[in-house]
Structure 1
Amino acid sequence: MECDIDTLRAFLETVGCPAETAAVLARDMPQTAQGLPPATGAALAAALTEALGTPAAPSELLEHGSLDDWLRFVAGHHDDAALKRAAMARIINGKGNISPGKAYTIDAMRPADAPGVAGLFHTIYDANYPVLDYYVPEKLIALNRQKAVLTLVARLETGEIAGHGAYYRSSPPNPAVYEQGQLLVDPAYRQSSMAFKLLRELDALSYAMPWAEAFFGEAVCNHLVTQKSGDKQGYTPCGIELSLMPDAAYAKEGAAGRVSCMMGWRMHRDKPSPLYLPEVYRPVLEGILSGFSLRRDIRFDPGDHPASGETVLTSRLFDLAQVERVQVAAVGHDFPARTAAIEERADRLGLAVVQVSINASSPSTAWAVRTLRQRGYVFGAFAPQWFPDGDALMLQRLAAQPDFEAVNLYTDRAKAILAHIRQEWGARGR
């Protein structure tokens, strides 16, 4: 988890600084020189230790630190393991039992709701959700203010948070693409219509986001509930992410082994772009594309074109999930070597899954796909407008044999995608 400037301002609010004051503090001036009392530094240090596991702050920082000084201090002592221990202890110390049978309101998350949201994530996932941000209330507040996350909650009349759903910027490099998910309902309200009402309000919210181009969801495949709701909302199946989630995250739901996800997509504001696709994937891709109305100049290619230039890629490691996601904005001549380095690191870290998403607006797409298939990757998904300037083809590398029989799918289109992947998996190395 990154503690950025907006998160730090939220921590100042936690220790009593008015929101309007925290919002206008200069980053490079001591807080005391801007009118904050000296005690604020000590209170901020204590809050950061409680929430993030940072060590005691030096006296100079307490007395004369600026916001940028505090950010450097936190970054210099960042430790995910310590952060996780601190965040879990804070949640457990502040949690109580959710009151059953109460009236509730579906509403946008307020800052006062954030501890309840973190507590709900803990109730559902214990300490196993793969992104630590959601266990830190101040980070949740900052993400919502940045529109990186748009959180809806089911707030009981007592103020407790019993339900949650969100749109959030997750892995796509395109900031105008949001993932819909994190539909959580406390066990005391599982028999109510809370989940349905959250989904209905999320649907309405998506049409009130004029900056958003597309939405997608990753519906777990250990049951069909979320796939059915996604189908009703108009999400088109476009991929199967095998073994994506660790079994611990869904142990309370009876999952045994890693859980696969079905990727569904809904376009709101399409924009034309070239689309280069490998001939070998024509059958599965034509099936997926038939579910969309995209303005694309589609060219299927056998994959004989060598790439020039250097590969441009970024990656993000999800430690708790044992997953790495690689975004290839441009394929270059060094793509095989860059891929080999990623695989070496994955093997060294014991990762379960590596996903590589290729910008399919380039003629080098088919060559890159052929390179990955030769290294044991299989098809994963087609993702419209994943990149700011193009769609993506995602291929996946798995450390172990996936449990195909455990993948439950709702629609015929999703089943056809899985059938292709299963056949491709069986043909590897031939």
Structure 2
Amino acid sequence: MDCDIDTLKAFLATAGCPGETVAALSRDVPLAAQGLAAERCAALAQGLTEALGVPEAPATLCQEGSLDDWLDFVARHLDDETLKRAAIARIVKNKTEIPHGKPYVIDRMRPQDALGVAGLFYTIYDANYPVLDYIVPEKLVALNQQKAVVTLVARAETGEIVGHGAYYRSSPPNPTVYEQGQLLVDPAYRQTSLAFRLLKELDAVSYAMTWAEAFFGEAVCNHVVTQKSGDRQGYVPCGIELSLMPDGAYAKEGACGRITCMTGFRVHRDKRLPLYLPEDCRPVLEPILTGFSLNRDMHFAASDVPESSETVLDARLFDFAQVERIQVATIGRDFPGHVAAIEERAVRLGLAVVQIFCNTASPGVAFAVKALRQRSYVFGGFMPLWFPDGDAIMFQRLATAPDFEAVRLFTDRAKAILAHIQAEWHAYGR
């Protein structure tokens, strides 16, 4: 987790500082010079230690520090493992018994709900949820203020958080594309319609997010329940992510081995874009594209040459899942060398899956796919509006053969995508 100015301001609000005062604070002026009382700075220091596990703040920082000074102090002492222990201890200390069968309302998360949300994540995942942002209430408040996350909660009449669902910015480089997920229901409410009601309300909220262009979900394929929900919400199947989730992630549901996910998209606000695609993927891409009404200047090519000499990419490693995702914003003529380096790293780190998302907004996609096939990558999916200036085509490389027989799919469109990927696996996979 990283700590930013908005998160520090959320900690000040938790410490009792009025919201209008917090909003007006300048980041580079000492807090005392802005009229903040000494006890507020002391409460901030205590809150940071309790929630993040950072050391006690020095007296000079409390007396003379600006928000930037506090941010520097936290950055120098922040450690994920220490933070995790401190955050969980805080959750356990404040955990209350969840009432059974009490009325609840579904609402946007309020700042005072955030500790309850953190408690629900801990109830469901114990200490195993990989993203620390959700167990630090102030961070979750800041993310909602930044529209990086849009959180809905089911709040019991006595204030406890008994359900949760969200839209959040995840892997797409395009900040206007949100993932729908994190549907959590407290065990005391599992036999109610809460999950269905949360999904219905999430659907309504998405249409009110006027700044968002598209939404997507990754539905597990060890059953079809979430796929059915996505189908009812109008999400179009457009990819199959083989062996995405690690062993044991869904053991409580009776699943064993790595779990494949199906990607579904729903486009709300399209824009005209060029679309360059490889000819040998036409059989799988054309049926996918018929599920959308996209404004595209489309080009299929058997071969092409990138306009740029240099590839621009960004890599993100998900240690817990043994997955690496590579976002290729610009395909360059040096792309094959990058693919070789990515493969070497995957072998060295023992990764189970590597996914490469290529921007389809300029020529070079067929060139890139040829290089990927030579390294045993197979088609994974088409993701509209994935990049700020283009769609994406995703290819995937697996360390071991996927269990195709274990994949459960709901729609014929998804089944056709899997059939194509399975044929590619026999042709190109190892």
TM-score range, shorter chain: over 0.9
Shift in Å, 1:57: 2.6
Alignment of 1:227 with 2:215, yes or no, is no
Equivalent residue, structure 1, for 2:303: 303
| Alpha-carbon distance between aligned partners in 2 of 1:83 and 1:242, rounded to the nearest angstrom | 32
| Alpha-carbon distance between aligned partners in 1 of 2:75 and 2:45, rounded to the nearest angstrom | 14
Deviates more, 1:396-405 or 1:406-415: 396-405
Equivalent residue, structure 2, for 1:44: 44
| Alpha-carbon distance between aligned partners in 1 of 2:337 and 2:203, rounded to the nearest angstrom | 43
Alignment of 1:156 with 2:156, yes or no, is yes
Deviates more, 1:386-395 or 1:349-358: 349-358
Equivalent residue, structure 2, for 1:283: 283
Shift in Å, 1:402: 2.0
Deviates more, 1:187-196 or 1:100-109: 187-196
Equivalent residue, structure 1, for 2:139: 139
Shift in Å, 1:369: 1.3
Shift in Å, 1:137: 0.8
Superimposed CA distance per residue, residues 92-128 of structure 1 (whole angstroms, 9 cap, x where no aligned partner): 2222331110000010000011111111111222222
Relative distance call for 1:337 and 1:62 in structure 2 (3 A) is farther
| Alpha-carbon distance between aligned partners in 1 of 2:72 and 2:239, rounded to the nearest angstrom | 40
Q: Within 5 Å, which residues of 2 pair with 1:258-407? A: 258-305=258-305, 308-407=308-407
Number of residue pairs aligned between Structure 1 and Structure 2: 430
Q: Within 5 Å, which residues of 2 pair with 1:21-40? A: 21-40=21-40
Equivalent residue, structure 1, for 2:415: 415
Secondary structure, in 3 states, of the residue corresponding to 1:211?
A: coil
- C-alpha contact 2:304 2:363 (8 A) present in aligned 1: no
| Alpha-carbon distance between aligned partners in 2 of 1:68 and 1:320, rounded to the nearest angstrom | 32
Secondary structure, in 3 states, of the residue corresponding to 1:287?
A: helix
Secondary structure, in 3 states, of the residue corresponding to 2:166?
A: strand
Deviates more, 1:337-346 or 1:156-165: 337-346
Code of the aligned partner of 1:78: L
| Alpha-carbon distance between aligned partners in 1 of 2:229 and 2:206, rounded to the nearest angstrom | 15
Secondary structure, in 3 states, of the residue corresponding to 1:118?
A: helix
| Alpha-carbon distance between aligned partners in 2 of 1:248 and 1:16, rounded to the nearest angstrom | 42
Equivalent residue, structure 2, for 1:62: 62
Equivalent residue, structure 2, for 1:238: 238
For normalisation by structure 2, the TM-score amounts to 0.96
Equivalent residue, structure 1, for 2:88: 88
Secondary structure, in 3 states, of the residue corresponding to 2:297?
A: strand
| Alpha-carbon distance between aligned partners in 1 of 2:61 and 2:72, rounded to the nearest angstrom | 11
Superimposed CA distance per residue, residues 19-49 of structure 1 (whole angstroms, 9 cap, x where no aligned partner): 2211111101111111122233332222222
| Alpha-carbon distance between aligned partners in 1 of 2:325 and 2:235, rounded to the nearest angstrom | 22
Relative distance call for 1:246 and 1:54 in structure 2 (3 A) is farther
- C-alpha contact 1:130 1:321 (8 A) present in aligned 2: no
Deviates more, 1:306-315 or 1:5-14: 306-315
Relative distance call for 1:126 and 1:154 in structure 2 (3 A) is same
Superimposed CA distance per residue, residues 139-183 of structure 1 (whole angstroms, 9 cap, x where no aligned partner): 110111111111111100010111111111111111111111111
Code of the aligned partner of 1:36: L
Code of the aligned partner of 2:113: D
Q: Within 5 Å, which residues of 2 pair with 1:114-263? A: 114-263=114-263
- C-alpha contact 1:328 1:358 (8 A) present in aligned 2: yes
Code of the aligned partner of 1:146: Q
RMSD: 1.7
Code of the aligned partner of 1:277: L
Shift in Å, 1:8: 1.0
- C-alpha contact 1:318 1:324 (8 A) present in aligned 2: yes
| Alpha-carbon distance between aligned partners in 1 of 2:182 and 2:308, rounded to the nearest angstrom | 41
| Alpha-carbon distance between aligned partners in 1 of 2:199 and 2:214, rounded to the nearest angstrom | 17
Equivalent residue, structure 2, for 1:112: 112
Shift in Å, 1:307: 5.2
For normalisation by structure 1, the TM-score amounts to 0.96
Structure 2, unpaired ranges of 5+: none
Relative distance call for 1:162 and 1:429 in structure 2 (3 A) is closer
Q: Percent identity?
A: 73
- C-alpha contact 1:377 1:397 (8 A) present in aligned 2: yes
| Alpha-carbon distance between aligned partners in 2 of 1:257 and 1:307, rounded to the nearest angstrom | 42
| Alpha-carbon distance between aligned partners in 2 of 1:309 and 1:251, rounded to the nearest angstrom | 46
| Alpha-carbon distance between aligned partners in 1 of 2:24 and 2:345, rounded to the nearest angstrom | 43
Relative distance call for 1:55 and 1:425 in structure 2 (3 A) is farther
Deviates more, 1:80-89 or 1:99-108: 80-89
Equivalent residue, structure 1, for 2:76: 76
Secondary structure, in 3 states, of the residue corresponding to 1:140?
A: helix
